[in-house]
Each structure stands twice: as structure tokens, then as C-alpha cells.
Amino acid sequence: MPLVRVDIKKHQDPTHAKRIGQLIYAAMHSTIGVPENDNFQILTEHDEQHFIFDPGYLGINRTDQLVVIQITMSEGRTIEQKKLLYKTIAESLNAELAVRLEDVFINLVEVKKENWSFGNGIAQYAL
């Protein structure tokens, strides 16, 4: 059960954030086995005063079209799966929405399964 947060600068196309989310979900489904309908996303657009980043950190040239993606998920994926996920997300955003590869910033947060409650005050995955 991933929880995806996407932050971008306000875009002129009102469907842009949603389209980013759809591509991320498709990449998670195909690379790390996220099940059908397991799609929880928070898509946020910011004005330039509230979207701050270093345009050259680690020698990567970023623009104000930066897409910041944070995925919180249960631990257990291999490094190879994570690398494939990063690559698939970046390449699909580039191919479908013309987002530069340099402008795709991804952060994975892994948690133990008992750290989820999907409703009703119950830890559904706790063993």
C-alpha cells in the first residue's frame, strides 16, 4: 500500500498533476507489484514562494518544472526493483508529459507493515 505525494509548481494545465499521478501509479503497478485499486495520492501545486529547491544540487540541473515525488510504502522491495521504479517513473513522465529527466525527484520512505491503518482504527497488516 503506497501513499504517494506529488509536489509541483502551479501548472497552467489543470489536469497536469492528475496525469503525473496516473503515470506514477502505472509505474508502481508494473515495477513493484502494486495491486489494482491500491491507489492513494495527494497531489499538490504550489506558487513559487512555496516551492523551493536547489537547482544544481549534486550537479543535476533542475528547472521550475521540478516534480517532487514521495512514496511511502511497506518495506521489502529489492534495490533492483527500486531502481526500475525510479527509471520507469522518470521515463514515463518524460515521454508522456515532456518532464525533463533532471526534473524528476523521487524519495522512497519504507515503513514496517504494522505502521498502516486503512480505516476503522485497525492495523490491517499487523501480524
Task: Dihedral sign for Cα 25, 18, 108, 119, please.
Answer: negative
What H or E segment, with its residue span, contains residue 104? strand 104-111
Q: Is the dihedral of CA 105, 72, 23, 88 positive or negative?
A: positive
Phi, psi (degrees; rounded to nearest 5) at 29: -60, -45
β partners of residue 45: 8
Q: Annotated catalytic, 2?
A: yes
Residue pair 16/67 in contact by the 8 Å Cβ criterion: no
C-alpha cell at 113: 507493515
Q: Which of 2, 14, 35, 55 is catalytic?
A: 2
Active site residues: 2
